[in-house]
Amino acid sequence: MTATIEKVIKRNGSIVEYDKEKIVHAIFKAAQSVGGSDRKLAESIATKVTNTVAKLYPQPQVPTVEEVQDIIEKELIEHGHAKTAKAFILYRAEHQMMRDTRDANFATSENIPYKKIWQLLVWSVDNKAYSIEALNEKVRSKHEFVKLIEATEEAYHQDIAMAAEKILKKPKTRIVIIAGPSSSGKTTSTIKIGEKLGEKGLNLVAMNLDNYFFDLEMHPKDEFGDYDFETPQALDLKLINSHLADLLDGKTIQQPIYNFKTGKRETETVPLKLESNQMLLLDSLHGLYDEMTSSVGEDYKFKLYIETLSQIKDNHNNFLRWTDIRILRRMVRDSWHRSYDPKRTIEHWHYVRRSELKHIIPFIGTVDHILNGYLAYELPIHKKYMFKYFPEFVKEYKDNPKKQDAYIRAQRIYDFLSTVKEWDDESVIPKNSLMREYIGGSIYKY
């Protein structure tokens, strides 16, 4: 008896008649966008799709639209139609963005860099890094994974160069603010922006605002004994503004030094003076927060936002959350650089997200450039360092009602990271890579 398919589940949950002609139309439209004109070929692929769906979802099972579309991608690729598959993948992504925007009633559209995301999605498809399975294939071949590292590094440095060029075109700039959520790559990017501008003869001075944290003992603790120093108010805003104003007036300031291991400022300070031919670079989680630099006029500031704009799907056709990429980075870095147990990092993350959503995300629309800090090859490396912790996290948090936020994050990361193939040869990662900010071995001093 021949397997058949009669129904399909739409995104809104309704069940409708399966229409093969819609499959034919979608495939043919994708083929036309890349120069194809053979409708019979589209019909042939649609028949293969229908047969595959019927075998995988025998009645009374009913597949979803997303599951059918996954099979369309698979059949196109397996039958040698890579260009059409790419066009179809981009078509799906574009319409997903349109749905997301519509569902949100455009309330946050100004805070989502759609143009940048679209460019990165195209790059991900071109470099076959748009899904975990595609990434795993590169790890298996090894040579292809090394090529992905090279392509990713090139794209990141091109983005850095573009940002530097924009800074040079804003004539009154005296302060460059590099801001973004935790572990997005601010520190390395700040250094690299400085390198690019230095090639143009500018003498640059970096000012790390992390050194302006109040002593840890001054912050309140929650019921778990955890500190909330992710808020801008954890920084000495009054002193920051005073120092910025003095620097632009040609005065010498005494910068504090913050020790993250002790949670206190050191007694020593570092003198700093901004000469007329120098530009100040600020690397701060809260650089876009108005009260951070209110003593400086807007004409004198160049604002750059950095985020891990990953465009990679898990095995359920869902895009990975940017925040999950960053929490893995922070767990790796904090475990060796700041003497934090990874468990403490994931439990603290609710403070991080709360602060990001309140003090960073709303200001994306005010920046001069958006920089992508995601590295298309980083997940297999995170697998090596962090996956071993997550089974225990999930087990510990699952039945603890006070740790449900940590449980949800841990379970989500465990689910997708369990499908990622590990990569352990760090020698192929350049010493000047942003990735080195988290795993160590960088030529830069952090």
Find the helix or strand (DSSP H, E) in which 372 lies. strand 369-372
- Tokens encoding 181: 């959520």
Strands 7-9 and 15-17: antiparallel
Q: Is the peptide bond before 63 cis (omega within 30 degrees of 0)?
A: no
Got the DSSP string for 182-237? Answer: TTSSHHHHHHHHHHHHHTTT-EEEEEEGGGGBPPGGGS-B-TTS-B---SGGGB-H
Residue 276 is given by DSSP the state T
Return the number of other C-beta atoms located less than 10 Å from residue 160's C-beta: 20
Which token pair is 423? 């990569």
Exposed (0-12), middle (13-18) or buried (19+): which is 320, by Cβ within 10 Å? buried
CA dist., res. 113 & res. 359, Å (int): 17
**Start-end of CATH 3.40.50.300 domains in the chain:** 126-439
pLDDT at 107: 38
The predicted pLDDT at position 309 comes to: 95
Vertex 207: Cα angle to 279 and 307 (nearest 5): 95
Which of 414, 379, 378, 367 is closest to 395 using CA atoms? 414
Q: Which residues of 294-303 are buried (b: 16+ CB within 10 A; e: fewer)?
A: ebbeeebbbb
What is the pLDDT tens value at each position of the chain, 446 positions in all?
Answer: 456 788 888 876 678 889 998 899 889 888 988 888 888 999 999 999 999 988 888 887 888 888 899 899 989 988 999 889 888 888 887 777 666 554 444 333 446 677 788 889 999 999 999 999 999 999 999 999 999 999 999 999 999 999 999 999 998 999 999 888 889 999 899 889 989 999 999 988 888 888 998 888 776 565 566 666 667 888 899 999 999 999 999 999 999 999 988 889 999 999 999 988 899 988 777 888 889 999 999 999 999 999 999 999 998 888 999 999 999 999 999 877 666 788 888 988 988 888 788 778 888 888 999 999 999 999 999 999 999 999 999 999 988 878 888 999 999 999 999 999 999 999 999 999 999 999 999 999 88
* 3-class secondary structure, 278: strand
pTM: 0.72
The pLDDT of residue 1 is 45
pLDDT of residue 276: 82
**Residue 377 CB burial class (10 angstroms; 0-12, 13-18, ≥19):** buried
User: For residue 420, what are its two tokens?
Assistant: 């990622």
| Per-residue confidence (pLDDT) for residue 85, from 0 to 100 | 87
Separation CA 72–CA 50 (nearest Å): 9
Pairing of strands 301-307, 175-179: parallel
Pick 126-439's CATH classification: 3.40.50.20, 2.60.120.330, 3.40.50.720, 3.40.50.300: 3.40.50.300
Q: For 253-266, write each residue's pLDDT tens digit.
A: 999 999 988 889 99
pLDDT digits (tens, 9 = 90+) for 67-82: 899 899 989 988 999 8
CB 326 within 8 A of CB 183: yes
Q: Say which residues have a Cβ less than 8 Å from residue 96's Cβ, sequence separation at least 6.
A: none
